[in-house]
Amino acid sequence: MTAPSPTINIAAPETTEPWLKHVPIPLFAVVMGVCGLGLAWRKAHAVLNVPVAVSNTALIAATTVFLAITALYLIKALKYPQAVVAEFQHPIRANFFPAFSISILLLSRAALSVGHETAFALWSVGTLIHLAFTLHLLKRWIVRNHDIQHSNPAWFIPVVGNILVPLTGAPLGYIEISWFFFAIGLGFWVVLFTIVFYRIVFHDQLPAKFMPTLFILIAPPAIGFISYIALTGSIDPFSRILFYFALFLGLLVLTMARQFLSVPFAVSWWAYTFPLDALTIAALEYHERIGAEGLTPVCWIALTVTTVIVTGVFLRTVAALFSGTLFVPEK
């Protein structure tokens, strides 16, 4: 009688979810940050006489990154539609979907130097998509209950992003449409700023990974100033209020540098970039309009700091991409 052969249990190999499933919608903030930097250098070329090649390089990079991320997210939507639906239903991540339409609006502004036809095509598409996002997400906020802990500066993206429409719409001659979107963005900026500031002051501190979103507080008044100038063509008391409030918020986040430096790297770091781009462009625009020499150092400092931060975040993102730590499940 032969002894029974020993049973060997072969454990199934541990499986991991494909990285494509974890490509995050906030990745479009990369386009916003890089394109905003290109627009800042374009403005600096006109005001400070810096080389235009830097602007052209950044804008080409932004276009390339936009096409790559769009293709990547489209493939994700086709292969893992449930993951995209889950992201769109998420109380925080849903607010980053309009970063896609904002990216198109920024690229339309960049395209003004290429040709008005290209700029108009991009502007039209970006404006319609952003309006759809605004209506849908705002309706969701109204008809669903939300926890105050879910509110953070990223809530500005869907509705306050409307302030960007006049950046291209006004130069193209669509003044009334631009005022319509400017009114939406400015009106909801006041409302959301109050809500978010209340949440930050009177409730638990923002989780570390959301700390970079505090920079988003700078963007609405900075972009509001630039769009208002595009619509009116001159500096007046209200434009000064917008500019100096944005400048104050920039100084405020500067005092919190130690807190931001302690935040581990994540895609949320891109929240540092576009608001600084916007503040730099606003400072350059204000300097160009009033001609105050005292603002020259402010413009140079803003341009330098913004360039260093955007470049640094971009390099950290590339490093994370090649190390395989960029597209991972959210913790």
- The backbone region for 45, taken as left when phi is positive above 0, alpha when psi lies in -120 to 50, beta otherwise, is alpha
Mean pLDDT in residue range 113-119: 93
DSSP 182: H
DSSP one-letter code for 203: S
In the prediction, which pLDDT does 7 show? 43
Q: What percent of the chain has a predicted confidence (pLDDT) above 70? A: 95
pLDDT at 294: 80
Q: By the 8 A CB rule, do 216 and 210 touch?
A: no
Distance CA 99, CA 133 (A): 10
| Separation between Cα atoms, residue 245 and residue 52, nearest integer Å | 29
Domains and CATH numbers, the chain: 22-323 (1.50.10.150)
3-state secondary structure of 95: helix
pLDDT band at 16 (very low <50, low <70, confident <90, very high): low
Distance CA 153, CA 142 (A): 18
Q: What is the mean pLDDT of the chain?
A: 92
Q: Round to whole Å and give the CA distance between 237 and 4.
A: 93
Average pLDDT for 43-63: 97
pLDDT recorded at residue 37: 98
Q: For the segment 259-273, what is each residue's pLDDT rounded down to a tens digit?
A: 898 899 999 999 999
Nearest C-alpha neighbor of 153 from the set 69, 272, 45: 272
State the alpha helices, DSSP H only, in 80-154: 81-89, 98-110, 116-143
What are the pLDDT digits (tens) for 304-318? 999 999 999 999 999
The per-residue pLDDT for range 23-42, each reduced to its tens digit, is 999 999 999 999 999 999 99
Distances (CA, A) of 186 to 36, 58, 108, 216: 20, 29, 21, 14
269 DSSP assignment? G
Measured CA to CA, the distance from residue 311 to residue 273 in angstroms comes to 9
Query: Sign of the CA dihedral 109, 114, 119, 121?
Result: negative
Residue 177 burial by CB count (10 A; 0-12/13-18/19+): exposed, middle or buried? middle
Q: How many CA atoms lie within 13 A of 44 on its CB side?
A: 29
